[in-house]
Amino acid sequence: MGMQAILVVMLFAQSITAESTSSDHERMVVRFGNPTKALIQEFLSSDYDVAAYSPGLFLDIVVTKPEYDALRRRGFDVRITQTEKQLKSHLKKKDRDSLEGYRDYEQMLTELREIEAEHPDICKLYDIGDTWGKTYAKKGNTAYTEFNHEIWAMKVSDNAAKEEDEPGIYYMGVHHAREPISMEMTLTVLHHIVDNYGKDDTIRDRVNDTQIWFIPLLNPNGHKVVTSESDVWWRKNIRDNNNNKAFDVVEEQFGGGPDGVDLNRNYGFGWGPAGSSDDPADVTYHGPEPWSEPEIQAVKNLLDSHRFLAGITYHTYGELVLYPYGNDYDAAGPDREALEELAVNMAKATPGTVFEQGYYDPGPGWGLYPTAGDLNDYSYGRHGTFSYTIEMADEFIPAADRVDKICKDNLEAAMIMLNRPRTSTLTGWVTDEESGEPVEAEIMVQGIDDAMKGMDDRFADAADFRYPYKSDKKFGRYYRMLKNGTYSLIFRAPGYETLIRKNIRIDSEGQTVLNIKMSRSAGTENLTDCEAILSGMVGGSVFIPLSGNDVDTWTIVYNGRTVNVPGSKTMHRIQGLNQDADQATIIANGIDAQGNPYSDPETCTIAVTEAKCPVNQVNPESLPQVRIGGKVTIPLKGYNADTWEITYNNKMSVLPGKEKSFELSGLAGGASEVKVSAKGFDAEGEVCSDEMSFSLNFESPTYTNPTMSPSSSPNPGDIVTLQIQTANAVSVSISDGLSISDAAMNPANSPLEPDFNNNWTFYDNTWTYSYTAFLPGKLTATITGADGKTVTYSWNMDVRTHIRTVSGKVSDADTGLPLYAEIAYGPAKIWTDPLTGYYQAKAPDKDYDFTVKSWISGYQSQSRTVTADQTAADFALKADVSCHAPGYTVNALFYEPFDACAMPPGWTVKDNAGGGFVWTAGDTKGLLSEAGCYAISDSVVAGEADIDTELISPVVNCSDLQKVSLSFKYDFYTYTGSDAADVDISNDRGLTWANVWRQSGSTEEERDLQTAEIDISAQAAGKSEVMVRFRHYDCFYEWWLMIDEVKVYDPDAPDCNIPKEGGLVVGNISDAQTFINRAVVKDEQGNRNISQATPDDPNLADGFYYLYAPAGSLTLTASADGYISKSENLTVPNAGIVRKDFNLTAEPLDEMLDSSVLTWTTSGDIGWFGQREITNDGTDAAQSGGITDSQSSELSAKVYGPGKLGFFWKVSSEQDWDFLSFYIGDLPDPVVQISGESDWYQETVEIPEGEQVLRWVYAKDS
């Protein structure tokens, strides 16, 4: 029930020190750690440029130096994490002046053309639109000559010039200019696919059965602004908002300025104020209207013309995987569970440093903060595409030297996305039973799409709305990506009988194919059940259940109003009930059995009860379509209204109740919501209102479509060229399921540009692709057309070779212990058996380099060539100098790793400056790439205060040594270079000191942990009273000096002590249903390890642990939150390995709650569990799950009243934000709740008569 403690992982960057070194206009990112709700509300709702936000961890904003100083004067504990100087330096690799690490537009385009030329069989490059820069330049404006950029898209498929009956996937980069690594990531995925097309079977298959689109650089104009260092904070494009015919970079407004639009706020689905601005100078300006930007029009044309099942748009930063919706708090699409499942899988596959779990954090788009008008919401809301935002890295522009690793860390998630449509997916073709022609039908899944069934298009921006999934017109193909389970489906199409299919099983083994043949209906029939209509109140509304056969449209007539809705709708809401109008006519429109127009009416009586509050009869269906920037007149119909309130675009207008209409002008476009409230009074004089919300209806454009053919059969190692002739394809990709995965083929010709109507013209093309052959297998070509449809062609690739099996063992070179390790060779990767260290690898008869990396930490990797005639190869790995390998210890006279995160006994700290800022020890909390505990002199904490501090070791006896060395790890991170770091040696207990190491002027490029090794023989050899001193001085407003692993040792002695008597214990931790990660396994001597996931090895389950233990008999204990600890006796062989699995049992809730007569159920995001540490009776209690913001943990039981219930409870939470509440039944309000720091307290409540469900809910707000 306590508030969960979450480790705050931060990566701090360069600091601003003095006004003389930075302009007042120079910007920086500052971080609020563990921000309060009040702080979040202030800065998320203000004009600040929010860089990143992670609830419960940090809030980053972009500020100027004066703004930073003002925050400090207000008492905020903020740290500078990124500076302008840092961002500029990060754009380039060390010691280079050229833009290396981050490509510019010209380098990207050259590279795309080279990829297309090298892989013509599977790649085709398209110019999909112009930027504002090119638009202005074409008009002769020379101010935009350097911004003369097109938007380029690469299609990868085995028939990229043709639109095929295949699903589409997209990867996009650089919506926001200051996030250039997003382009690098998109290109990394592209390279991975094309480079492995001939090597990886899965990639080959995906290229052959999928149409994969890449837009690496959506915002080339803004990217130019950043990479040229005109303004490294720039976020938007370069739209000329002030019409001065020039792009304005204003120093005082770096990152903002009068020009530009935030491209990821300009999409038309949900376009509006959330997370965006109407001010052109703001960094989140969403444009004058939705779809106003040519860059976003290009994306819209692409999305509207292809069948995209899923996609990723890359951003920075925060290490998040976000899924739709994002336009409002708690917004959730009907496919939320499946969307979340894929987000979790991608997040867990992506290593990270921001969050304690060590990987990216999944969540809904609004979990970051609500944003309206973004790509995900449009792509999912309009097309049902599972579209995700991945916020990469931990800063806007990571150092160029980090780019490769960050991108490679994100590759697995990209491949999970690519492979998702091939598992847990329902697909098939819908055709006419007689003609066999494709039928465009709606496909509804019961239990998922039910939430939308009563909505018509005017609710298109409702929080749970998504346009229906349909089979496509050309092929009749449909797709539904679902969670595993059994489903019932409804297939509907005008002129056809509705079909229901039940008990359709979806699983992870592959796609479930369900083909549907639809029969023409006998004619339109109205089956509306009038008795199912509930009564309504005057001024209120009722829902009319719409039921019938072969209904094209419904017409509902009530009180003089006529409304038409699509025949697929199953519910219609009649609003503004009038006591004098008690009948509604529901007309089913369609055709009769002979195909003639036919209408079948049904008149229903509506029971209307009297009310005295005002009645709002505004009819939004009667409003005409509107133009962006235009105006519309809203008729104000109703009675008893004292005033009318019209809210639009966060602005409210108040009119007298007698007004009959209101002119709404300055329309912002998209699906902007209008709320009309009739305000009045009831008979008792209390204020009451009748509100109605609806969305304005706007317009949008589209464009056209494209086919394929394969070849080839090689020797291993041969360069194989595939050539495919296509018509109307935009990309072709190749996969072989092993070494090639969705590699892009190269087209011989480039596509034509869209015409002035944004219609594409496609033509026949020849595609080629070259790859290096590996193993025999199936080669699959995937041809993708412009509208996302795909088709595949498969054949067997008979590589002319003998396949051999290489066997061997991986072990510890000194102890002989078998090791669990990864072995990579060619394009393949396998794992050893964790119990024996043995492996078997299949390979052609060729020489291959085998690279072996131990999964168990503390070992050096090893690479060796295994020749074509070898069938056996053992690998003996040496422990590395860290001595962290199992059983190894550091061989030294003195060694201090600061592992306790506290200043160790015997060390002395001095404060020479007298300001109280001295050496401390603790967790780095993300200051470095290596997590752990260190000693630190932290100028960030000191701020504008001098630091001169010493850290002195205990006495070390070196009298027996003729040679003595000192080593330590350090991170000396400075901004101005004025501070200094010394290491001194004393051999007389600190009376005198000799300097042996001095450093000053380090830059951020040298910031991570380095190792210093110093010969101190002259000072320490033969001496018995040696001490080491670390001094940090001349420090004012800098960063830090950090040290770790201080070691005094004999340089001629081995680095590590090799274990003599002991062995390894390995195994898995599980419960009755799943494997448990983060469980602790330990022996009686305190040796311990934590079970971990093994996502890369398909043959080893999660919950895996390894532990070095003394040889002989011992007792191991496994424990995990919510489980009963379990101990097992075993015998550990010396220099051997033994397996011991643990199956843990959950703590029984009835025992923990001292109530065995009740059946307890736990639910919510994370369930309650039993535990014995925080109790009222000293024995046991139940505790809520470790939830985060916007989550809940629920405990419930069923009782029969009447009676009294007593219970003790306590909570530790954010006061007045997070609550532990007790409910009876489904009542919306709790009977009692507590918040803040509330110790054990007994509650007694009355239970009403009858069956009652008792619910205890711990919930955290958003």
Structure tokens at 185: 């990531």
User: Quick check: 732 and 193 in contact, CB under 8 A?
Assistant: no
> Which token pair is 127?
């110019």
**Any idea of the CA torsion for 952, 957, 963, 964, to the nearest 10 degrees?**
-20
Average pLDDT over residues 1129-1139: 93
pLDDT for position 458: 31
Q: Residue range 643-653: average pLDDT?
A: 76
Provide the pLDDT for residue 1174. Answer: 82
Mean pLDDT of 364-374: 83
pTM, entire model = 0.50
Sequence-distant (6+) residues with CB within 8 A of 534 are 542, 543
**In the predicted structure, residue 630 carries a pLDDT above the cut 70:** no
pLDDT band at 699 (very low <50, low <70, confident <90, very high): very low
- Please tell me the distance from the alpha carbon of residue 1205 to that of residue 607, in angstroms, as a whole number: 42
Q: Which of 273-277, 549-553, 696-700 shows the lowest mean pLDDT across its residues?
A: 696-700
Confidence (pLDDT) at 1187: 79
- Contact predicate 964/1048, CB 8 Å: yes
Question: 320-323 and 361-364: which strand pairing?
Answer: parallel
Collapsing DSSP states into helix, strand and coil, what is residue 482? Answer: coil
The pLDDT value recorded for residue 749 is: 61
Cβ atoms of 852 and 862 within 8 Å: the answer is yes
- Nearest C-alpha neighbor of 65 from the set 109, 112, 4, 24: 24
Nearest residue to 318 (alpha-carbon basis) of 398, 374, 387, 382? 398
The pLDDT value recorded for residue 973 is 85
The predicted pLDDT at position 651 comes to 67
Lowest mean pLDDT among 478-492, 655-669, 730-744, 1102-1116: 730-744
Token readout for 962 is 């003729």
Q: What is the pLDDT of residue 709?
A: 35
Question: Is pLDDT above 50 for 838?
Answer: yes
Asked if residue 1097 has pLDDT above 90, the reply is no
Give CA–CA dist 556/602, Å, rounded. 10
Going by pLDDT thresholds of 50, 70 and 90, the confidence category of residue 788 is low
Angle at alpha carbon of residue 1164, lines to 1161 and 1169, rounded to 5°: 55
Among 733, 558, 545, smallest CA distance to 159 is for 733
Q: What is the pLDDT of residues 298-345, one digit of tens each?
A: 999 999 999 999 999 999 989 999 999 888 777 788 898 899 999 999
Per-residue pLDDT reduced to its tens digit, 117-173: 999 999 999 999 999 999 999 999 999 999 999 999 999 999 999 999 999 999 999
Per-residue pLDDT of 814-831, as tens digits, reads 999 999 999 999 878 889
**Measured CA angle at 1257 (ends 1254, 1262), to 5 deg:** 155
Q: What angle do CA 1099, 1101, 1107 make, to 5 degrees?
A: 110
Nearest residue to 60 (alpha-carbon basis) of 32, 36, 41: 32
How sure is the predictor about 255, in pLDDT bands with cuts at 50, 70 and 90?
low
pLDDT digits over 44-101, tens only? 665 678 888 887 788 888 888 888 877 876 767 788 888 887 788 788 754 434 445 6
Q: What average pLDDT does this structure show over 440-461?
A: 62
Residues in the chain, total: 1262
| Longest Cα separation, the chain | 111
Asked whether residue 755 carries a pLDDT value surpassing 50, the answer given is: no
| Nearest by Cα to 782 from 207, 190, 121 | 207
pLDDT digits (tens, 9 = 90+) for 1049-1058: 999 999 999 9
Q: pLDDT band at residue 1009, thresholds of 50, 70 and 90?
A: confident
Q: Give the separation between CA 11 and CA 925, rounded to whole angstroms.
A: 8
Residue-level pLDDT at 789: 58
Are 413 and 366 in contact by the 8 Å Cβ rule? The answer is no
**222: which 2 tokens?**
């803004």
Which of 22-31, 348-357, 543-552 is least confident? 22-31
**Mind listing the domains of the chain with CATH numbers?**
19-90 (3.30.70), 422-518 (2.60.40.1120), 536-606 (2.60.40.10), 615-695 (2.60.40.10), 803-877 (2.60.40.1120), 892-1053 (2.60.120.200), 1061-1146 (2.60.40.10), 1149-1259 (2.60.120.200)
Highest average pLDDT, of 47-61, 463-477, 624-638, 960-974, comes from 960-974
Sequence-distant (6+) residues with CB within 8 A of 651 are none
Residues 1195-1250: tens digit of each pLDDT: 888 888 888 888 888 888 877 778 889 998 877 778 888 888 788 878 888 888 88
Q: Is the previous residue joined to 314 through a cis bond, with omega within 30 degrees of 0? A: no
SS3 427: strand
Assign 993 a pLDDT band (cuts: 50, 70, 90).
very high
Q: What is the pLDDT of residue 8?
A: 17
- Specify the pLDDT at position 166: 95
* HSE (side-chain half, CA atoms, 13 Å) at 540: 16
For the ranges 46-50, 557-561, 1187-1191, 1252-1256, the lowest mean pLDDT is seen at: 46-50
| Mean pLDDT of the 347-369 span | 87
**What is the C-alpha to C-alpha distance for residues 678 and 647, in angstroms, rounded to an integer?**
12
The pLDDT-based confidence of 927 (bands split at 50, 70, 90) is low
Q: Across all residues in the chain, what is the average pLDDT?
A: 83
> Which of 911, 998, 993 minimizes the C-alpha distance to 949?
911
Query: pLDDT > 70: what percent of the chain?
Result: 85
* pLDDT tens track for 3-41: 332 111 122 222 222 222 345 667 888 888 888 767 777
Residue 239 has pLDDT above 60, yes or no: yes
Which residues is 359 bridged to in the sheet? 351
Give CA–CA dist 744/165, Å, rounded: 18
- Looking at residue 853, its pLDDT comes to 96
Nearest to 147 by CA among 106, 90, 204, 96: 106
pLDDT band at 463 (very low <50, low <70, confident <90, very high): very low
Residues 6 or more apart whose CB falls under 8 angstroms from that of 357 comprise none
pLDDT above 90 (res 905): yes
Distances in Å between the Cα of 577 and the Cα atoms of 462, 485, 557, 610, 694 are: 23, 42, 12, 10, 18
Categorize the per-residue pLDDT at 426 as very low, low, confident or very high, splitting at 50, 70 and 90: very high
| CA 157/CA 1195 separation, integer angstroms | 50
